[in-house]
Amino acid sequence: MTFQLAIVLYPGMTVLDAIGPYEVLRTLPDSELRFVSNEVGPVVSDSGVLALGATHTFAETPAPDLVLVGGSEASTTEAMANKELIEWLRAVHPGTQWTTSVCSGALILAAADILRGHPATTHWAAQPALAAFGAESRPHDRIVRSGKIVTAAGVSAGIDLGLWLVGEIAGEEYAQLTQLGIEYDPHPPFDTGHPDKASPELLRKARLDMTKRAANPRIPLDVATAVWRLTLHRIRDRAAARR
């Protein structure tokens, strides 16, 4: 049986969140990989220059075995307010073998009420938002597993997530072969890849820079829409359970 992987695309997303895991997961044997979105076609990333191609719609992908949702600097909240995406996540999650996220994609899972009661991680700047959706923030963990839900920290952690998943799906040796094949042997020139390792001044500048780049007047409205929709879903679920 073919193992189907669905990587979510939406306008303004960060490309590496999707492409990092894609380069690792695409080698899985007996698998079919899809880039899914509201409609088939190009999806422009947060750079405004690079686009990825959605190969299938959400409606065409009703039963994926693995779902992966990436994040964005400025468009995460718009994705959280994307009714079709959120309802698709809620519909497919019960049938997945793995439901996963990279970076602030965790907040999109949270908006679909998937992370409530679960430990999770996300980009360090987005960690405080997890609690608003009932998730337990794990800011010092690069990958957090809770049952079949697996969340990864910011951007580059998607490669680690991909390798971890390959190890779980195809075995440790296959994951090691995959790592060797892509020569994933990071030796960064600087050791400031986590807030714990950065100076207070560097962290202040990073926060200021991200705030400027993420400036979006729609963010308060999109967050409110996501929370309101989530609350209504919970009310409906409770009512259905009493019938």
Per-residue pLDDT tens over the stretch 127-136: 999 998 999 9
Distance of alpha carbon 18 from alpha carbon 124, whole angstroms: 18
pLDDT at res. 74: 85
8 Å CB contact between 6 and 68 = yes
pLDDT at res. 28: 97
Among 17, 52, 35, which Cα is nearest to 152's?
Answer: 17
Q: What is the mean pLDDT of the chain?
A: 92
- Name the pLDDT band for 238 (thresholds 50, 70, 90): confident
Tell me, what amino acid is at 95? Answer: G
Q: Does residue 103 have an active-site annotation?
A: yes
User: Which CB contacts under 8 angstroms, 24+ apart, belong to 25-30?
Assistant: 25/66, 25/68, 25/162, 25/165, 25/166, 27/166, 27/178, 27/181, 28/3, 28/166, 28/169, 28/170, 29/170, 30/1, 30/2, 30/3
pLDDT at res. 233: 65
- Beta strand extents in 119-228 (DSSP E only): 119-120, 136-137, 143-146, 149-152
Residue 101, beta-bridge partner list: 69, 151
pLDDT at res. 210: 82
What fold characterizes domain 3-241?
Rossmann fold (3.40.50)
Distance of alpha carbon 36 from alpha carbon 168, whole angstroms: 23
Distance of alpha carbon 43 from alpha carbon 4, whole angstroms: 21
Active-site residue among 68, 103, 110, 135? Answer: 103
8 Å CB contact between 109 and 130 = no
Number of CB atoms found within 10 A of residue 200's CB: 8
Tens digits of residue pLDDT in 45-71: 998 899 999 999 999 999 999 999 999
Domain ranges of the chain: 3-241
pLDDT at res. 227: 63
pLDDT higher than 70, residue 101? yes
